[in-house]
Structure 1
Amino acid sequence: MSESRTAGTTIWDTASGEIVTRFDDSMTGAIAWHPQDDLIATASELAIHLARPDGEVLWTLGGHVPSDSLRSRIVRDLAFSPDGDQLASLSTDGTVRLWTVAAGTCSTAQVLRISSGTPMALTYMQGGAQIAVAVQGRGTEVWDARTGERVATLEDCSQDAVGIAASGRGRVIVGIAEEARLQSASPDSECEPGVESGIPVPEFLAAGPGGRIAVSGGESGRVELWGAGLANHERVDLPESIPDLGVPGELGRTTWGPDGTLFAVTRWWGVIVWDGQEWSPLEMP
């Protein structure tokens, strides 16, 4: 909650699990690291900060539509292109805004306007040349990251797309909420039949080393780890309780470290780490 004294951005040392620094910036939405580790993008309901790792805000970005009495809107996802020259911000207002971040400058670029449905998540693919967007009520759309033009609409896939991650070889893995299912798809071929997921709403997908995909969401207390191509998977449950920490609460977003370590967010434990054998919590704010 924004009135909490710990609301904002926290940075940990992943080797020791200790907190490095905290920013009281009230940015409690999406977050993304720049590929060169010299910028952090953080979001609130409307605004986006581009800051240094020490908390110095270099740019504040806007343009997304605020909430009104009928509809709540939020900047739900952020992603840097693989080369770091572009930032994409996705809002449930129906737009994806592109920002050019290069040579110490930041400027506006194209605005991708989703024709219908609610954009839920995005990922860069094809080496950063394209952006794939999961749209609830529409399916999956693919856009040219340079021109801002729509390349394809994958209407053969289920229209209840809520999560997405690039899987390599020009393909994406899409999380389908209506059927708790995962599908592999590409702009130039039909969607594959897909596989069932034990995650009720597979809204958070994270691509890791070797094409592995972590899937979480839907207020679930577990994460699924899928092999490349969705060939096999394992289910990793959270422990029921840890002394001095209590119950974890539901598991939210996940991300992979370069060495294959999985980091995840839980409601009451903060950031926790899966090393392939057990969960361990990082220092609490």
Structure 2
Amino acid sequence: MNQDVVVLVSAPDRAGLVADTTSYVRDIGGNIAEAEQHTIPGLAFVQRMVISIPSTQSVEVMRDEIAVLTSGEVTCHLLGTRTRIALFVSRAGHAAYDVMSKVALAENPIDVACIVSDQPDHADLARRFDVPFVEVKVDGRTREEHESAVLEALDSFDFDLVVLARYMRILSADFLERINAPAINVHHALLPAFIGAGAYQRAWDRGVKLIGATAHYATVDLDEGPIIAQASTAVSHRDGPDDLARRGRELECAVLAQALSAHCQYRVLLTGNRTIIFED
């Protein structure tokens, strides 16, 4: 009986790393089903392997031994493990609806632990998909007070990932640390352009000929986290701000879906503030 594992390696580059990792898999009686690697000159060697190893082999021991072998950072994930998400949304619901529709269609190994909002608008979405709905109103609270209320509500749920589907609140460093999970945000512009709110209006004011959307990991620096997916489309002088927003909604849904797929299939490797995405 074997177990299938995704192995992600990020290490200082040197000669022989591929030979070392593949030889190690052979030596523990494993078989490599997929292997891909990439070198960022002067920065790092990154590798993704899908391997089948004996059920008697400890995944944790294997991870630690590969880390020593490569002098790098190594994570291991059992293939097929489902990701539980906490889905955050404010007033604009298109991205959240798209995520829930794709979950219902089983397009990715994702389960939704809860839907969190600062608005009451999306209780129906939660009921429709039989998911707990958590509304935490702002009601004059400070950011710290509101975040504390959200964190208290989240204590009732287990989740591996926070998905910010047009959740229009700036999250503090304390909040991002205390959720104890990565967070993926979708932004309505082609970052690094038009950081923050009102991106479509500002794009129209600037007279752009191209609009876009970006899915990225959320960090303490607003809209500056590592980029996972981007898409764009051409626009013209005939398109007003509402037209840009309407056309941009499709892009937002597309890049968020692409980012979730890559993350949940363990195809994303972080090196500093950039990502390496191993394609499906």
Q: Report the TM-score, using the length of structure 1 for normalisation.
A: 0.29
Bigger Rg, which one: 2
Q: Report the TM-score, using the length of structure 2 for normalisation.
A: 0.29
Structure with the larger strand share: 1
